[in-house]
Amino acid sequence: MEPKFLLNFSTHKKDLALFDGDWSKLEAFVARNGFHGIEPYPVGEVDRIQVPKGLVKGLLLRFFVIIRELWNEGMDGLQRVFGSLEVARAFYGGLHRQVLIDTYAKQMDLANSLGCSYVVFHPVHWFLNFPTGILSHGRKRSSCRKWH
């Protein structure tokens, strides 16, 4: 089996802006630089119609690095890590494990519709002993981007 060289690429609008938001320009860049396709990390909504057929080979599912507290619906832990449940809600898009299930189901549907032959799933829980509210940056609103 010959190795495939794929470009891991976020679909965030700022990243797509590198190609003027034009998927065909991304496709040309991929071909010009010897890649066989892309492995996108979907951020926000992906307009499936705009994605050139065959460009996407696999999909990198959303990577939640602090997953245990949300999966266990540990409100005290979420409060401690994020400083407030409002900030945790903004980070995850909700406060219950169904948010994770819905996010992955939606991304699996995206992978299927783009013809992906695989997805990458990182079920990891990374957590250090952060000071309370470390992710709120001392503000009422989080500066964390919502990644789904």
- pLDDT confidence of residue 125: 64
pLDDT band at 143 (very low <50, low <70, confident <90, very high): very low
- pLDDT confidence of residue 81: 84
Residue 148 reports pLDDT greater than 60:
no
Domain ranges of the chain: 1-60, 63-116+123-148
Which residue from 49, 40, 53, 52 is spatially nearest to 107, judged by alpha carbons? 40
Compute and round to an integer the Cα radius of gyration of the chain. 17
Per-residue b/e over 100-120, b at no fewer than 16 CB within 10 Å? beebbeebeebbeebebeebe
Cα dihedral value 103, 108, 111, 115, nearest 10:
-160
pLDDT digits (tens, 9 = 90+) for 88-138: 999 899 999 999 999 999 999 999 999 999 999 887 666 555 555 555 554
State the average pLDDT over residues 38-55.
93
